[in-house]
Every structure is written in C-alpha cells, then in structure tokens.
Amino acid sequence: MRIASRRGWTHAMVGLAALLWAQTAAAHLQQGEANGFLTGFQHPITGLDHVLAMVAVGLWGAQLGAPAIWVLPVAFPLVMAMGGMFGLMGVPVPGVEFGIAASAILLGAAVMFEVRAPLFVTAFLVGVFAIFHGYAHGTELPPGQSAVLYSMGFVIATGCLHALGIGIGAVHRWTWGQKLVRAAGGVVAVGGVLFLWKALA
C-alpha cells in the first residue's frame, strides 16, 4: 500500500512540474490553416454518396486481392483530383449527380456479386467514377481558407475511407465474412438507387 502511495505521489509531482514548466501554446495559427485542413477532411466524410462509393472501392479491392487492393486506392485519388481540377478550370462535365449515383449502384453491385473483372477494366471503371466525385466535391473551398490544406484534407479523408473499406473487407477470408461483404455491397447499391432517385426528382 505504501509503495503504491509513493508511486502516486511521484506521478502527481512529475505531472505538476510538467504543468509548471509548460511552454507557450502557439495556439494562434495563420488564418484558415486548421480550418482549411479540417474542412477538406470533413467534406468527403459528411457526404453519404461519397462515403458509400469510397468504402465500396475498398471493399471491392479487398474482394479482388492483390494487385487490385492497392491499385484502386492509388489510382482513385489521382483521377479524383483530376476531376476536381476539371471543375476548378471550368471544364464542363455533364451529369455529375447521375455519375455519382451510378458509381454507388455499380460499385455496390460489383461487390454484391463479387465481380472479378480484369484489372484494367476495374481500374478504368473506378477511375471514371472518380472523376465525377472529384468534380462535385473537390471544388468547394470555402472563402478565406488554405487551398493547399483543404486539398490535402480532402484527399487524405478519401484515402481513409478506402482504408475503411479495405479494413471491413478483411473479413472476406471467412465464409461468413464473404456474405457480410456482399451484403455491404448491396447496401451501397441501394444507397445508389436512392441517390439516383433524388437526382431524377
């Protein structure tokens, strides 16, 4: 008991000393710095259409295994950013909302039916959909915020959603996991149908 008490006192004293010697907080960032990153990071994860499609990309990659499991997450951000660049340059891309809805439907269906297409077909399909997502989401920088940090936050959040999909897809090695992943694909496809309904309405 006594030893435990002494340890507690030591910890308390070290903590108190650390508090007393605390350095300056450097809390005043340049205008828009933290906001730019957080806004960019929040943007993809607060849009359900984007979340479903990105997770589906990860799930499909996990089902297909190597090399698709890493080719898709590498290719998607690059092509998505190209779509964002088209949007920023004012290049017209018709039917963006339909493209996003179609991405959820087709990617969800691909996961649900465990479609095993050749790698270039898979990468092409994912790349085409990535353009729509980048075009719609990558161009919405709020005024006064850092474009660099917004872009980085946006891309990193998208990559994290892919990683989430791959993480969920890791259960694919078990029989029950394969069913679960296919069911998740079904949920994504149903979500896509709802987005398409909204786009048509």
Q: Which residues bind another protein (CB under 8 A)?
A: 1-2, 5, 9, 13, 16, 20, 24-30, 33, 70, 73-75, 77-78, 80-82, 84-89, 138-139, 141, 146-149, 151-152, 154-156, 159
CB of 106 to another protein, least distance (A): 22
Could you tell me the smallest distance in angstroms from the CB atom of residue 190 to another protein? Answer: 29
DSSP letter assigned to residue 201: -
∠ CA(77), CA(72), CA(136), 5° rounding?
Answer: 35
The CA angle 132-135-138, to the nearest 5 degrees, is 125
Minimum distance between the CB of residue 103 and another protein, rounded to whole angstroms?
17
In the complex, least distance from residue 171 CB atom to another protein, rounded to whole angstroms: 17
Residue number, 1 or 201, with CB nearest to another protein: 1
Q: Identify residue 115 by its one-letter amino acid code.
A: V
Nearer to another protein among residue 22 and residue 200 (C-beta): 22
User: 3-state DSSP call for residue 28?
Assistant: coil
DSSP character for 23? Answer: -
